[in-house]
Structure formats: C-alpha cells, structure tokens
Amino acid sequence: MRSPLALLLTALLAIGFSQTATIAIDSAYAQSAQPLDNNVIKKVTPTKAPSKTKPSHTLDNDYSNPNLKAGNPSKATPDVANADNYLMLKPEYVLSYSKSRNIANWASWQLNKSWMGDAKRQNNFRPDPALPKGWYRVVTTNYGGSGFDRGHLVNSEDRGQSVEVNSSTFLMTNIVPQAPDNNQGGWEKLESYSRILANQGKELYIIAGGFGIGGEGNNGKASQLKGKITVPETMWKVILVLDEPTKGLEGVTADTRTIAVLMPNKQGRNNKWQDFCVSVDDVEKLTGYDFFSNIPPDIQEQIESKKGC
C-alpha cells in the first residue's frame, strides 16, 4: 500500500506543483515526527511555465529568490548526498555549505535600502538547526582562544530590517574564521562601502566566501579550529552593482559596475579594500565558480574581465 505522503505528492504533481516543491515537502516531512499540516502545504507555490525570454525555473536560475537572482555559482543543490556543495535557502540569504570544511563555500545576498534598518546587532551566535541530521553543528566556543574572529559572510548591518532578520546573520553557517586584521580592516571597509551604494538607491548582488586552507590569526598560523573548522587562506567577494534596480538583471550592460577582491586571511591591517581589487574572472579562476550566470554570456564576459574596483 502506498504511504499517505506518496499519495499527497502524486496529487500535488497532478495539479501542477513542481518536482522541486514536492521535494521540499518530502524533506519537511522527513525532518518532523508529525504528519504534514496545512500550513506546510500552503507555503508551496506552483512553478510558473517558462516564458520565451527566461529559462525555466531551476536552482541554477532561481528568479524567485532575490538572494540567488544573479545565479548559483557552484550549482549547489539541497541534496544531503551533495555534502560539500549543499544549498541552504534562507529568507535572508543563500549558502553553499561544506560538511567536510564546516564552513560555507559561499554566501549570496541582495542588498538594497529595504534590507537595512534600525534593528540592533543581535550578537547571538549559535548553531544552525537547518543543517541535516547527523552533521556537525559549529558552536561559538569552537572559536574561543583561536586567535580568529567569528567573521560574517553576510554582514550583520546588511540585514537590519528587523530583529529576526538581523539575528539570522549570527547562525554559525554564516561565519568563517577570519584574521582580526582582515575582518576588521579592508573587509569591513568594503562592507561599509557596499551599504553606502545601497543607500544611494543602487541594488547590489553580493557573493562572498573563503578559499583554500590555512590562515594567520593572533596566535599565528592555523589550518583548522578544534580539528573541525577549516581556516580559509583567502577571503573573496564579488559584487554586481545595479544603478537602476527597477530594470532588474535585464538592465545589466557592458558598462555595469562590478567589484571583486581577493584578501589574504592573515594579520597586517590594511583598511584600503581597493588594494585587493581584481577582476571577477580572477576570482572565478581561483574558486572554479561561475558568477552572475543569469546574465547573458556576452555581457557577462565584458563585465567580469574588468578589474572590479
């Protein structure tokens, strides 16, 4: 006899729900000891039929999620078998997480005036309950005495819309071991500059992460914290700056500005983030990722080849 869940999924597919939606329901059911309720079902919406101007709706081309609108750079998926490129879709930002490194490969988020606000910094660092069952959950004490900062990928001030939204940036999946001079120097100055652009009415699509193994904190060089958390060798960030947000990605041209940096994850304070500017192509060559893949290839080639500063 087929299970009630199987019958439910069959019915949903019959009325036009996407396969991705049914997987989301299946995952929600599997993680709960209780049967699905109507509240879970109501949150699932059918996928619209593909138009002639946009590709079909997939995880690689997710136009519905503002934080993934510019593309999925590593083609991350919400499949636990894809443990080192595991997609975590949150309302406030999107992550690709690595189980073996216990840090995110990258975080992607949209930044404009609407995301910022007066909510105070919550500072409530904590494990992320959204990680799959059985995966190690990083806790804030893993960083104690390490000589490294609990460095945000998605900056706290980029999410000041509400207490709840700001609190989401303190989940440990959004945190990487950063050298204090890196985190509090040029990295922080670029974060502040990004908000200046957003306050000018621009819209930014930001992707950031750490690459490699081995950084240098207050206590010297380290490859891991507590034998569990990888310390990146390099911190990187790429930014797409839209001067006219109402036009969306369709308004991106060969003249659209990009910003890209590669910063060594080590001590030695340098507040000038411009000293670390490279092209988006340079970051792609280092990481193997494909940034801004939802932009037409000819335009993408032009904006990514320029030194982004």
Residues designated as active site: 152
What are the structure tokens assigned to 275, written together?
Answer: 């000293």
> Facing residues of 211 across strands?
234
> Token digits for 157?
């001030």
- What is each CA distance from 16 to 12, 26, 101, 301, in whole angstroms? 7, 16, 38, 37
Asked if 231 contacts 224 with a C-beta cutoff of 8 angstroms, the reply is: yes
Q: Which residues contact 294 (CB under 8 A, 6 or more apart)?
A: 61, 63, 69, 70, 71, 249
Q: Is residue 291 within 8 Å of residue 284, measured between CB atoms?
A: yes
DSSP state, residue 145: T
The token pair at 76 is 């991350």
Element containing residue 23 per DSSP (H, E) = helix 19-30
Assess contact for 262 and 236: CB atoms under 8 A.
yes
